[in-house]
């Protein structure tokens, strides 16, 4: 029930993206600089702490930028379908919790 309710609920969600924004200006290239500098340092010295920190910071900036530019919408559906999806999801969660108890 959890899997079916979760699938039906997530099937109603539409995810779109918008233009990449980093601050007031579009600056995707700026988010790549720490990553590229960190990778260059790691190729020079694989144990470089600064290289690892820059690489992880660059990956974090890119992941945060992707997540911040996502727009998530719940598609229009009937009340009956919504209640069925949520009922299956939470009923299944209750059954799983009962079985674990």
Residues 52 and 11 in one domain: no
Same domain, yes or no, for 12 and 26?
A: no
The whole-number pLDDT of residue 23 equals 58
Whether residue 32 sits in one domain with residue 53: yes
- Please check the confidence at residue 96 and state whether its pLDDT lies above 90: yes
How many structural domains comprise the chain?
Answer: 2
Q: Are residues 58 and 25 in the same domain?
A: yes
* 44 and 6 housed in the same domain: no
Shared domain check, 63 and 23: yes
Say yes or no: 37 and 58 in one domain: yes
**The model scores a pTM over 0.75:** no
Owning domain of residue 43: 19-68
- Say if residues 51 and 41 touch (Cβ distance below 8 Å): yes
Q: What's the CA gap between 55 and 34, in Å, rounded?
A: 6
How high is the mean pLDDT of the chain?
89
pLDDT digit string, tens, across residues 19-52: 766 556 666 777 789 999 999 999 999 899 999 9
């Amino acid at each position: 029930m959890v899997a079916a309710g979760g699938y039906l609920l997530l099937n109603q969600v539409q995810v779109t993206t918008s233009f990449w924004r980093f601050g007031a200006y579009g600056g995707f290239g700026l988010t790549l600089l720490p990553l590229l500098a960190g990778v260059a340092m790691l190729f020079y010295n694989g144990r470089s702490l600064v290289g690892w920190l820059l690489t992880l910071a660059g990956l974090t900036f890119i992941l945060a930028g992707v997540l911040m530019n996502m727009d998530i919408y719940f598609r229009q559906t009937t009340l009956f379908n919504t209640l069925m999806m949520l009922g299956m999801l939470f009923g299944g969660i209750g059954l799983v919790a009962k079985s674990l108890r």
